[in-house]
Amino acid sequence: MGQRGFTDRIDVAVSILLLAAALVLLIRWFGGWAVDLSAVYVAARAYGEGLDQLVYAAPERFFGPNPDPAVAALLAEAGSPGMPTVAFVYPPLWAALLSPAAAASTPEAFFAAARIVQTVLILGGAVLAWRLGGRGRWPLTLWLLANLVVLSLTMPGMTALWHAQPTLTVVALILLALERHQAGWPIMAGLALGVAAAIKLTPLVFCLVFLLNGDRRAALVTIATTIGLAALSLGIAGPELHLSFLEQLSRARANLMVTAANYSLLPLLVALTDGANPGQGFEILPAPAWAGLVGLCLLLGGIALLLRCAASWPAEDRTVRLAIALSILLILASPIGWSHYAILPLLLAPALLCRMPPARALMSGLVLLVLLSPFTQFRLPDVGLLSLMCGPLALLILLALLLKSPGRGATSSLPATS
């Protein structure tokens, strides 16, 4: 009876913490103009009004505010004149499915609804992350507090919430897929990852986790779901919009944005070779011919190293370690490695910290927090390319912690609740 009462109190504490976290995050960011999500609104509204030419309207060099006057007129008609927006870079299916919501709402109402849904999803994702890597090691309340720090005080978390980034939804789906895979539910795991891959293609890389763990069914369901949704997109939106989508991807790959908010190693390498130094601003440069090859070599080399290391990892730790490592490799090796992409490895990072002695875990967490702080990246005087190095350096440190992290036998001496 005493144990049951203690467990009930823990459940109440966790519920109160989740509710308080949701309210804090919503109050902090509610009502602001979500630049990234405005691209989704514009694309959905344009699709609904039959203005297909505006769905993938973009600046000549892809990045930055969209200068198209027709896009500005569409936003003015929707009740938000003069507000900035950026290019839409998702498959046409999502513009089509969201077009009724965009037609029936102002941008601000659209953003408000999205922020409520995304806050619920990402806090649910934090619980899934604990089930993946923290259960039996850290109390759920402590894990959630660590994840709340990530969402509230780091550049990746603040950027994602400020812009109401669709990345939040994708991260929640990936965490659901990995948690269901670890729990032995391959069909649900494949469905969740397939939907994530239909929003952004890169989650397909996490099929490697399924395959390395011998779960072919989850991998097959992922591929089938992705192909099915791609076929649905083609059937609904037609081939012309899909050709425009491919052209949009080509525009994005043809340029590099050199900024502290891009955690990829490629812009840093370009800045070192071309002498670019945007400081706390940004520069848009043509992507050199070697950038794509270097990125591919980094990704394949990193995956080869992971395959070698994964063979020695305990089976119960392999999923979370692979998830952290693959997500970091994707950011570092891709031309576009926006800071908010780092939410996935950062939400899972306590899985590494809870395997360390408490003092070392605290010190490692503080180093990551300082490097990923918006103050460090955008407020301190820039020395050389320091601001560009902070994000990649934090991810490389996290990767090093993963490779040096002890196995199942070692753990932080903190009480855990299941």
Percentage of the chain beyond pLDDT 90 is: 50
Give the containing element (helix H, strand E) for 121.
Answer: helix 107-133
What integer pLDDT is reported at residue 211 of this predicted model? 93
pTM of this structure: 0.90
Residue ranges in 200-287 assigned as alpha helix (H): 207-212, 216-237, 239-253, 265-274
What integer pLDDT is reported at residue 188 of this predicted model? 97
What integer pLDDT is reported at residue 413 of this predicted model? 40
pLDDT-based confidence at residue 410 (cuts at 50, 70, 90): very low
Q: Region 69-76: what's the mean pLDDT?
A: 91
pLDDT-based confidence at residue 256 (cuts at 50, 70, 90): confident
pLDDT by residue (tens digit) across 310-362?
A: 888 888 888 999 999 999 999 999 988 999 999 999 999 999 888 888 888 88
CA proximity to 344, closest of 195, 139, 132: 132
What integer pLDDT is reported at residue 358 of this predicted model? 86
pLDDT-based confidence at residue 415 (cuts at 50, 70, 90): very low
How far is residue 87 CA from its own chain's centroid? 18
Rounded to a whole number of angstroms, the distance between the first and last alpha carbons of the chain is: 17
d(CA 119, CA 22): 6
d(CA 256, CA 133): 35
CB atoms within 10 A of CB 324: 25
Structure tokens at 198: 């239909």
What integer pLDDT is reported at residue 27 of this predicted model? 65
The amino acid sitting at 394 is A
What integer pLDDT is reported at residue 409 of this predicted model? 44
Facing residues of 258 across strands?
A: 283
* Helices then strands, each counted (H, E), the chain: 21, 2
The mean-pLDDT minimum among 141-150, 195-204, 241-250, 363-372 falls in 141-150
- Give Dmax (Cα) for the chain: 68
CB atoms within 10 A of CB 308: 9
What integer pLDDT is reported at residue 414 of this predicted model? 44
Structure tokens at 29: 């960011």
pLDDT by residue (tens digit) across 163-215?
A: 889 999 999 999 999 999 999 999 999 999 999 999 999 999 999 999 999 99
Residue ranges in 286-385 assigned as alpha helix (H): 289-310, 315-333, 343-348, 350-353, 358-371, 374-378
CA proximity to 255, closest of 242, 272, 270: 270
Q: Where are the beta strands (DSSP E) in 3-51?
A: none
Contact 92, 248 (CB under 8 A): no
Q: Map tokens 């993938």 to a residue.
A: 56
Contact 137, 354 (CB under 8 A): yes
What integer pLDDT is reported at residue 385 of this predicted model? 72
d(CA 290, CA 273): 12
Contact 279, 378 (CB under 8 A): no
Q: What does the mean pLDDT of the chain come to?
A: 86
The amino acid sitting at 284 is I
The mean-pLDDT minimum among 111-120, 129-138, 239-248, 407-416 falls in 407-416
